[in-house]
Chains A and B, each alone.
Chain A
Amino acid sequence: MKKKFWAVGALTAATLLASLTACASPGTSSSSSTGASEWPSQTASLKGVTLTLWAAQTTTAEAKTVISGFEKATGATVKVVTIPDPYEQNVETKIATGAKPDLAFWQPTASELATINPGQNLLSLNDAPWLSTMTPGINDVGGTYDGTRYAALVTSPSLMGVYYNKQVFAHAGITTTPANWDEMIADAKQIKAKTGIAPFYEAGHDQWPTQYWVQVQLADASKNGLWTDMNSRKQTFSDSTILGAITNYDNLIKQGLFNSNIKTATFVQQGQAMLAGQTAMVVQVNAYLQELQASADTAELNEKVGWFPISPNGNTATSIPDQTNAVVAFNTGNAKQEDAAREFLEYWMGKGYASFISSQGTVSVESSVPNPSGVPDALVAIQKAVPGSAGSMQSLAVANPDLYINLADMIQGTKTPQQVASTTQQQFDQLANAQGVKGF
């Protein structure tokens, strides 16, 4: 009897130990297949190879044309696995437990690449053959971490800027788009006085759009090294640059320049308001244009909606490439799979690119591939503003704190601008510290 008891005890201990050691070191079994210098031919035969591509709900169909073209050309199979939202979080969790796809859509910003430990988990694309064919300026916008390129930018990176209703502008007697921040605010006041329409529309309930109002105000500072200073803690969110932008945003809301239902308004309503002419301007990213495209065709969009970049001193846009813009390849430790993943990206950015952007109805990031017809004017304006744009917090800061949640709290009245800044900084410190950044 005693023996049996001990057997059970030993089994218990063994299982416990096994699970402890199994969990203690996720992803330490790395192979050193980084920076392989030979790139396969775009259509070399891959019979019998199956590639897995992780996608979010918004990107699950994005690669459809590319995949069918690639499968025909190479004989490979590409399986798209849709990871439920919140996508980034679920992918991180999966990777932390040791699961890896061959490829995945991923936000090509330094802060978001950092969360999947790219040096360990991703393939370097430093010498990818398509990089030289990219439209000048696009490569600068994202996809690198610590000087190594990990993400292929497949579509024009998302930019923060101002969407405006051309009819409301005309109604208020405004004929040219503002050339800087002060002009934009002056236009807003004119619109309110002449038409009674809320000049700005913010989706306070959905929280995430709130950060763009602060970030566009940081565009000029970003070009002057704001985020480098933030990354070494020479500056903080509570210093005048960022706190000033937050306070400014708060003041504009208090002056009544925003929609009266700012606390409960959603992203969808933000889109409807623009098309219905119930607001003049919305500060948003490319996802907003996709939302507008879902309920209006190109002709209607071109008639009603325009886009201009804004920054305090001029018209510098702020870039925030997102998960729909880029794909990363994983270091799976299996050379054959890794080569196949590289070949897939090469095909995507090569032979498959023209049909890809035409199926997506989006603009090209390669100089040699022209834009397909039927792309809205606003998107072409965005494409033109990419070179020379400033980097966002997500792109240039070492960490991406929940600035948007804290700003949404400010809109709800539970945080002051000072509290928004200090809470965000606290989280920023915590995230930077976890990464072992010097000075935190």
Chain B
Amino acid sequence: MSAYAPSPGTKSPRRRRDASRRNYPLGYVIPALAVMLVFFIAPTVLNFFYAFTNWSSFHSNIDFAGLSNFSSLFQNGTLVADLRTTLIYAILVAIFQNLFGLALAVLLERDTAVNRILRAAFFVPVVMSALAVGYIFQALLKPEGALNGIIGTLVGHPVSIAWLGSTTWTLLVVTLIHAWKWVGLSMLIYLAGLKMINVDLLEAARIDGAGRWASFWRIRFPLLAPAVTFNVATALLGSLNSFDIVQATTEGGPGQSTELLNVFIFRTFGQGLFAQATTMSLVLFFTIAILAFPVIWLLRRRERVL
């Protein structure tokens, strides 16, 4: 830029031309901007606005209600309990999705015909409807479902484990289902990361005497840092917003042990308490925002080795 620095007080014709050329597509942005405005920015702004009102299905007037929605929500233990569940859910999903995604990427790295088919197979759940996935697993994991049927055949007597019936372990089962659905995407990104690594580097390591284990942990894994950043951030922050899989498998049960904040928001909205539901989604919005910055900052710092 310094090359173009004009003398003070004058505007070079060249710069003006550049500027107009740069700004020329501004008009083209309008359609996209309008769509974003109506479907993204306006709802977000309204989300802030309605959280401070008494909007509900019971009356048609909407009045300012101050901070009463916030104070009543935080007095109610459910919000805090559900936030905790949501955080545990997101952390578990991030761990499982990345662990399995990385393992699959390493296992299926070589371009053989079998690997190509397997990669496609593992990617299929990603494009499936999350609700469909949820309902299928719900059917499989019922006490009289297919999984117990298979186990029953193997052990020789009927089994009726309620896989989705434990107030302690169901959360874990649901996060595994979530991870299963999205693991294909993580795998794909790790695969792309692995493919980007220069072969010469690995060859040099081999010549220096590094075994497969050492060359993976010392060279390939550190070089995967950008892929790790993307995968961990999207899995963690994306699953904070999760709703569909839990709604389809457990509806937040048993005993509200898998009730994510979004499930609670859905329930509150269904009661006609629109302002309260909006307030909760604002809380969720801030939770995600507060988490996103340090998480991404930490992950980006890991990339500095590159």
Contact = CB atoms under 8 A, between A and B. Distances in A.
Interface of A: 1, 4-5, 8, 11-12, 15-16, 19-20, 23-28, 30, 86, 88-89, 92-93, 95-96, 114-117, 120, 205, 207, 261, 263-264, 401-402, 405, 408-409, 412-415, 423, 426-427, 430-431, 434-436
Nearest to B16: A1
Contacts of A117: 57-60
A25 B255 CA distance: 37
Contacts of A412: 167, 253-255, 257
Given A4-B26, A16-B45, A415 B255 contact: yes
B165 A115 contact: no
Given A26-B60, A435-B59, A8 B254 contact: no
Among A30, A401, A405, A436, the most chain B Cβ lie within 10 Å of the Cβ of A405
Contact of A431 (B33, B42, B251, B271): B271
B41 A414 contact: no
A143 B38 CA distance: 39
A20 B270 CA distance: 23
A434 B56 contact: yes
Nearest to A412: B255
B167 A414 contact: yes
B35 to A, nearest CB: 10
Contact of A414 (B78, B165, B255, B269): B255
B162 interface: yes
A20 B60 contact: no
B56 A27 contact: no
Nearest to A95: B57
Contacts of B41: 16
Q: Size range of the interface on B?
A: 35 or more
Interface stretch (B99-107, B119-127, B272-280, B293-301): B272-280
A395 to B, nearest CB: 17
A112 to B, nearest CB: 10
Main secondary structure of the interface of A (DSSP, over half): helix
A430 B76 CA distance: 10
Contacts of B254: 205, 263, 408-409, 412, 414
B143 interface: yes
B95 to A, nearest CB: 25
Contacts of A27: 60
Contact of B256 (A95, A405, A427, A434): A405
A84 to B, nearest CB: 12
Interface of B: 19-20, 23, 26-27, 29-30, 33-34, 37-38, 41-42, 45-46, 49, 54, 56-62, 72, 76, 78, 142-143, 160, 162, 165, 167, 251, 253-257, 267, 269-276
A427 B273 CA distance: 10
Given A263-B254, A426-B76, A20 B45 contact: yes
B273 A434 contact: yes
A437 to B, nearest CB: 10
A5 B26 contact: yes
B256 A92 contact: no
Contacts of B167: 412-414
A207 B54 CA distance: 30
Query: Which 9 pairs of residues, A with B, have the shortest CB-CB distance?
Result: A414-B255, A412-B255, A89-B270, A19-B42, A412-B254, A434-B56, A435-B58, A115-B272, A409-B255
Nearest to A436: B59
Contacts of A15: 34, 37-38, 42
Nearest to B251: A207
Contact of A207 (B29, B45, B58, B253): B253
Among B59, B60, B72, B267, the most chain A Cβ lie within 10 Å of the Cβ of B60
A427 B33 CA distance: 40
17 contacts: A12-B33, A15-B38, A16-B42, A20-B42, A23-B46, A116-B57, A117-B58, A117-B59, A205-B165, A263-B162, A263-B165, A401-B271, A409-B255, A413-B167, A431-B272, A434-B58, A436-B59
A8 B33 contact: yes
Contacts of A19: 37-38, 42, 46
A24 B52 CA distance: 13
Nearest to A401: B271
Contact of B60 (A4, A5, A120, A264): A120
B272 A92 contact: yes
Nearest to A429: B72
A116 B270 CA distance: 12
A33 B74 CA distance: 43
Contacts of B20: 1
Contacts of A96: 57, 274
Contact of A88 (B27, B58, B59, B270): B270
A431 B273 contact: yes
B42 to A, nearest CB: 4
A12 B165 contact: no
A95 B59 CA distance: 12
Contacts of A89: 269-270
A25 B61 CA distance: 7
Nearest to A29: B60
Given A8-B30, A114-B58, A401-B271, 20 more contacts: A1-B20, A1-B26, A4-B26, A12-B37, A20-B45, A20-B49, A25-B61, A27-B60, A96-B57, A115-B271, A117-B57, A205-B165, A402-B267, A405-B256, A408-B255, A409-B255, A414-B255, A415-B255, A430-B276, A436-B58
A132 B162 CA distance: 53
A92 B143 contact: no
Among B33, B255, B267, the most chain A Cβ lie within 10 Å of the Cβ of B255
Contacts of B272: 92, 115, 431, 434
A12 B251 CA distance: 39
A412 B250 CA distance: 13
Contacts of B45: 16, 20
Given A25-B62, A117-B60, A413-B167, A8 B49 contact: no
Contacts of B269: 89, 93
A409 B57 contact: no
A25 B63 CA distance: 10
Given A5-B26, A86-B270, A207-B253, A264 B165 contact: yes
Nearest to A14: B37
Contact of B27 (A4, A30, A116, A261): A4
A4 B27 CA distance: 8
Given A8-B30, A20-B49, A263-B162, A1 B23 contact: yes
Contacts of A409: 253-256
A187 B261 CA distance: 44
A264 B37 contact: no
Contacts of B270: 86, 88-89, 92
